[in-house]
Amino acid sequence: MKVLVTGATSLVGRVTVRRLVDRGDEVTTLQRGTTDLPGRALRGSLTDPDAVERACAGQDAVIHLAARVGAAGPWSEFERVNVTGTANLLAAARRAGAGAFVHVSSPSVAHAGRSLVGAEADPANPATARGAYARSKALGERAALAASSPAMPVVVLRPHLIWGPGDTQLVGRVVDRARRGRLALVGPGTALVDTLYVDNAADALVAALDQAPRLGGRVFVLSNGQPRTAAELTARVLAAAGLTVTPRHVPRWLAVAGGSLVEQVWARTGRTDDPPMTRFLAEQLATAHWFRQAPAQAALHWRPAVGLDEGFARLADWFRSGRV
């Protein structure tokens, strides 16, 4: 099968490309920079219809991982990539005759600030999604589902907190803040949180590609199915990195107020780097986020192969190897 992968240089994108190549698929990647990944590499942006058209030509399927991420930046940038770019890719894939499309979304598209306990994939809601990233991903997900058809079934996956060796988001930020003496937990750190090890995420993407013909128009939230408290997850990341740091605890009300203030400063000054705290981040760190996994596992014929214990052991090996 000929498969186009966007966002292939991301943490999960790299593992997904190798999974596809190892099983014999012909992989084309589309990214703005260069890559050392196997397969045919094209440089271009989702916002360039011509580049997207060239990338989709002759493809049997598409896995769409690319996105504008972050907690800061003008709405126009998020909209341009996550909404217009997704629309460009969907249209080009349809014209190219692709027979399957896997769209990677985010659980944040259905998060309105409350705890999610044993939750399922509620509809994406741009009106209640918190922040430009979540709102733009909600709009992109809606466009993906609207484009699903018998000829090109679209499956939407919402992986929750992907991590593993090389992760610059969850793992990287915890370690960086710990080393700078700025690591804090919002509230007592007892909220249960789901995460997803990177190899499991890649396996799910490939499974969704294979099962797409019978799952068009459906949405699944993905996790390891092993929720742990925020305090435990933080401690295990620190242990894997060989750090002995005790995070301080910040009351939720103070984190939310501080996040609101920081957002105003970032907006007034035009800064685009990720702020240390936002209202959305404070809410997420203080509330439970874990999801019922039976529907996804049954539909995708997929189960996480790497449990948390094994994942953290691999993370510790990676830190010890000095490849950080």
Q: Categorize the per-residue pLDDT at 249 as very low, low, confident or very high, splitting at 50, 70 and 90.
A: confident
Q: Name the 3-class secondary structure at 112.
A: coil
Residue that is written with structure tokens 């539909």 in the block: 299
Tell me the C-alpha distance between 67 and 52, whole Å.
14
The answer, yes or no, to whether residue 233 has pLDDT greater than 60, is yes
Q: What percent of the chain clears pLDDT 70, i.e. is strictly above it?
A: 92
- CATH number for the domain formed by residue range(s) 2-160+194-223+289-305: 3.40.50.720
Lowest model confidence (mean pLDDT) among 8-12, 246-250, 268-272, 292-296: 268-272
Is 133 among the catalytic positions?
yes
**Is a pLDDT exceeding 80 seen at residue 324?**
no
Pair type for strands 184-186 and 248-250: parallel
pLDDT top residue among 141 and 170: 141
Query: Measured between alpha carbons, how far is 89 from 194 in angstroms, rounded to an integer?
Result: 30
The reply to whether the predicted model has a pTM over 0.75 is yes
More confident residue, 261 or 233: 233
Q: Report whether 3 contacts 59 (CB < 8 A).
A: yes
Choose from 23-27, 132-136, 184-188 the range with maximum mean pLDDT: 23-27
Confidence check: pLDDT of 253 > 70: no
Distance CA 305, CA 311 (A): 10
Query: How many separate helices (H) and strands (E) can be counted in the chain?
Result: 12, 15
* Whether 131 contacts 278, CB under 8 Å: yes
Say which of 133, 266, 312, 318 is annotated catalytic: 133
Pick the residue with more confidence: 121 or 149?
149
pLDDT digits (tens, 9 = 90+) for 149-173: 999 999 999 999 999 999 988 898 8
Within 13 A of 159's CA, how many CA atoms are on the CB side?
24
CB neighbour class for 246 (10 Å; exposed up to 12, middle 13-18, buried from 19):
exposed
Q: Which long-range contacts (CB under 8 A, 24 or more apart) does 177-180 make?
A: 178/238, 178/241, 178/243, 178/245, 178/247, 179/243
Q: What is the mean pLDDT of residues 83-91?
A: 97
Q: How confident is the model at residue 22 (pLDDT cuts 50, 70, 90)?
A: very high
Domain ranges of the chain: 2-160+194-223+289-305
Across the range 88-93, mean pLDDT stands at 97
- Measured distance CA(300)–CA(205) in Å, rounded: 9
